[in-house]
Structure 1
């Protein structure tokens, strides 16, 4: 091996190690300036010997040309959705159905996680190297977002460690922390760009950019929560064990994953997370509860589009009080006029028709009306023109 090859190998290994410590272990050993210096050194060496650049090099996160459209990827293992429960009684009924189906009187061991409010993705590694990534789409077919996912520093381009399967498809959520969301919108207001309604919209919009250089500027991150394809290797026989193995290979996993040995322990976890929700630094809309044993998961099986062994326990809709301070009109691409309510000191721009007419009469002078706004209504954009080109319908 030439001396420069040895240098390149050592630098890449060092940078991957520090990326793992920063994004997975949340325990950085070096300041950002030192990381940047090592990255510059690697770029300089690769510029001298471009024939030695490898696809999994830390310098190769950004580099793909802009796309004209996203290609479609068919999921070899469908990406199913989850059934929802919204109160304790519904969860306890779900718990009973699981125990009845298992014909067991013993408590099921549940693995409880945060339900992140982002975008579900699948990432395929072959021999430990990231080769493709896709959105969930309709669960059967998603969009090829490989170039964009490669720009997310929390997602390793190459797994490290031993016994990595020949083909491993991990699944997880790409999301945008609150601080990053606020920074994106600050920059957008300053430059006249698009202001996003909420972090989930910002994450989805960032990940579906045709130009990966734009995605690379957005502070997206990722938590892993499951597996699709598994070939040429083995994984632990519990859900928690698999998450810990993913973490050992360099994939980020939430530190709020908890085992619960009774329904009451699950409810305690739910309420503790709900209490901590404002301080997490990123949006969640509930918790996900899964049977921990893979053998029991297999025994329980699936319904049409969801597993019988997991459920999403959603939080109640949050409410906010604000004042309408303006109404803006906008001509859509089809020529229709749309009207928007602008809320005072609120982060969303909301369509006037997002609320019932009985709550918000259509009077342009009535701009100081106080409203209680359900979180789930916020951010809805609708066309109140009733399909009439160039007209606005009023009561």
Structure 2
């Protein structure tokens, strides 16, 4: 037997043990025996480096430390799920779904909601080539080298096919207990996956359950069977439930059983099993209409409300923040919580000095639920808590919401009588200016890397940056004078600012911080108007007719665009070379009304380049073949989409034919 055959045989043996240990949870050998096999393979590959392959078990920690993570566009968006916090919420979801499908009862598939972070894995011809975090759903971070260290992720599939698999990275509680410096397993998993050195990630023993595959199948369960067939790890506790009553029974069963697991779950994911039904119901702008996440009651704690501070945001909103006696909540030490607005403080009758009930319910900042006393005693998890208002030494004091901005002193206003939010109307308020600048440089807006909160504070304090346009006037001599800004830091910042000029109209429009203009609305406006000049000339009623805009957004947008201050900023941005047109501006309408599906490897275009080319000529791109598909663009080694196209009579074209259409 040749050395090449010896190496191939040893790799297969190690890969078999990896699947048994990490996927099937049925190891045949000890960790020491596994390590011995791996060391043997490393020695053989060191002696014969020409025989090393990307899918070798030795290459799981083969990447050198990175300087940063590159951005990756997802082939299909990673949508978030709408939440149900009660069985009544779940019943409403079921009613909507049955109405949409004209069905008396629906077959669902239920699974545990793993408390981790979502990732997308891309395989080309069966080889793992790219892994990315969820990010904002459209773009994530390339963490391929770190994901290679997760042994539940196969480096090569048993079939040479192009496929995308999605799953949840998590850390077992038993492994988390061996670490220091993290609040909980989810934070530890997130921090470990974003290490720039893959060797650190490898030492953290991350794991993954898969929950989705971008491939042709008739039901969700068939998709799971395909995932399992390809060697991925599935959570073993999923269940097909016929009707709402069966779903509720599953939820109730796992509310207590989940504590027996070695990993954290915070709810149940409920999906309609039929893919045809999923396609019929479709998506909202943020979530699928055919799935929902039932969230178990959040962890709660009681602590003392020591003070209430008012924070001023970029839109002028005055937001009350509770300062608390530090308390542990689900493994995290909490000292701040949101109180939302003045009306909420009044409605809950929250007073400084009160014992308050706080909880985490998917919020970045915990919220104050209520005063922990409607009577003289109040109970939480069997513990009796004395009502603080009845104790003379700790008598609570009502909070008087300020009539003026605590930063600049301007008289606070409300946009309308029924508006719950008080705002600072002063556009020159220092807090509003800093907030607006931090928003503009953020990743989803201009994405000026290295221009974090501290740098923004420094630039503003030094009088160098007052509005977004000032950023593009910065010079080396201005920045080198700042504290902790050396030559390399200055050079990197100026380079990032220059790079941000090319992000396009949608992201700059979002970055300008116009009220009600979020990412989705900004993208719709950029797609319709193509250039800022067209947008500035648009009437309010025309804006309101834009998909996803409406009257309220149009009114706010039109008013903002008419202000001399914003028009001056836009003019200065243009003078500085900031591109205020849609980067996806149409080159023609040659493909208008045509829908394309891509499969296989094209001769000269990557998948993203082909999609961009189609869209720039008015066409659209779909991920699945149907009778409505106009063409399937065929490359080398196509998948099952080509077979389905033939069955449906959808025309198959190659890259040359596509270019001829243009």
Q: Identify which of 148, 151, 175 aligns with 2:149.
A: 151
Q: Could you tell me how far apart the structure 1 residues matched to 2:240 and 2:157 are? A: 26
Provide the residue aligned with 1:331 in structure 2. none
Q: Could you tell me how far apart the structure 2 residues matched to 1:22 and 1:323 are? A: 47
Provide the residue aligned with 1:208 in structure 2. 194
Q: Which moved more, 1:85-94 or 1:252-261?
A: 85-94
8 A contact 1:15–1:39 mirrored in 2? yes
Matched, 1:171 2:186: no
Q: Could you tell me how far apart the structure 2 residues matched to 1:152 and 1:109 are? A: 33
Provide the residue aligned with 1:117 in structure 2. 115
Q: Identify which of 265, 278, 282 aligns with 1:297.
A: 278
Q: Could you tell me how far apart the structure 2 residues matched to 1:198 and 1:112 are? A: 25
Match of 2:167, SS state, is strand
Deviation of 1:172 after TM superposition, in Å, equals 0.6
Match of 1:308, SS state, is coil
- Residue pairs, 1:73-112, within 5 angstroms: 73-105=72-104, 107-112=105-110
Distance 1:51 1:226, change over 3 A: same
Deviation of 1:371 after TM superposition, in Å, equals 6.9
Query: Larger relative contact order (C-alpha < 8 A, sep ≥ 6)?
Result: 1
Distance 1:68 1:377, change over 3 A: same
Q: Could you tell me how far apart the structure 2 residues matched to 1:83 and 1:275 are? A: 23
Distance 1:197 1:238, change over 3 A: same
TM-score when scaled to structure 1? 0.80
Matched, 1:236 2:221: no
Matched, 1:354 2:337: yes
Matched, 1:374 2:373: no
Map Cα deviations across residues 193-214 of structure 1 (whole Å, 9 max, x no partner). xx11111111111111111111
Q: Could you tell me how far apart the structure 2 residues matched to 1:254 and 1:40 are? A: 31
Distance 1:316 1:379, change over 3 A: same
Q: Could you tell me how far apart the structure 1 residues matched to 2:192 and 2:26 are? A: 27
Provide the residue aligned with 1:278 in structure 2. 259
Deviation of 1:38 after TM superposition, in Å, equals 0.8
Provide the residue aligned with 2:64 in structure 1. 65
Map Cα deviations across residues 18-49 of structure 1 (whole Å, 9 max, x no partner). 11111111111111121111111111111110
Map Cα deviations across residues 243-264 of structure 1 (whole Å, 9 max, x no partner). 1221121100000111001110
More helix by share: 2
Distance 1:144 1:344, change over 3 A: closer
Q: Could you tell me how far apart the structure 2 residues matched to 1:153 and 1:77 are? A: 25
- Residue pairs, 1:178-257, within 5 angstroms: 178-185=173-180, 195-228=181-214, 230=215, 235-257=216-238
Deviation of 1:165 after TM superposition, in Å, equals 6.0
Provide the residue aligned with 2:595 in structure 1. none
8 A contact 1:349–1:379 mirrored in 2? no
Q: Could you tell me how far apart the structure 2 residues matched to 1:345 and 1:301 are? A: 37
8 A contact 2:300–2:329 mirrored in 1? no
Matched, 1:56 2:55: yes
Deviation of 1:119 after TM superposition, in Å, equals 0.6
8 A contact 1:355–1:377 mirrored in 2? no
Deviation of 1:319 after TM superposition, in Å, equals 2.5
Provide the residue aligned with 1:189 in structure 2. none
Q: Could you tell me how far apart the structure 1 residues matched to 2:150 and 2:175 are? A: 13
8 A contact 1:110–1:290 mirrored in 2? yes
Q: Could you tell me how far apart the structure 2 residues matched to 1:9 and 1:360 are? A: 70
Q: Could you tell me how far apart the structure 2 residues matched to 1:132 and 1:95 are? A: 36
Q: Could you tell me how far apart the structure 1 residues matched to 2:328 and 2:142 are? A: 39
Match of 2:177, SS state, is helix
Provide the residue aligned with 1:127 in structure 2. 125
8 A contact 2:120–2:165 mirrored in 1? yes
8 A contact 1:348–1:378 mirrored in 2? no
Q: Could you tell me how far apart the structure 2 residues matched to 1:244 and 1:344 are? A: 41
8 A contact 1:323–1:344 mirrored in 2? no
8 A contact 1:340–1:349 mirrored in 2? no
Match of 1:286, SS state, is strand
Match of 1:256, SS state, is coil
Distance 1:98 1:29, change over 3 A: same
- Stretches of structure 2 lacking an aligned partner (at least 5 in a row): 306-322, 340-344, 368-405, 408-430, 435-456, 458-662
Distance 1:43 1:262, change over 3 A: same
How many pairs does the alignment contain?
A: 347
Q: Could you tell me how far apart the structure 1 residues matched to 2:191 and 2:325 are? A: 22
Q: Identify which of 132, 140, 143 aligns with 2:138.
A: 140
TM-score when scaled to structure 2? 0.49
8 A contact 2:301–2:327 mirrored in 1? no
Match of 1:121, SS state, is strand
Structure exhibiting the larger radius of gyration computed from Cα positions: 2
Distance 1:359 1:154, change over 3 A: farther
Map Cα deviations across residues 311-365 of structure 1 (whole Å, 9 max, x no partner). 11111112246899xxxxxxxxxxxxxx996547984333x33376997958xxx
8 A contact 1:341–1:349 mirrored in 2? no
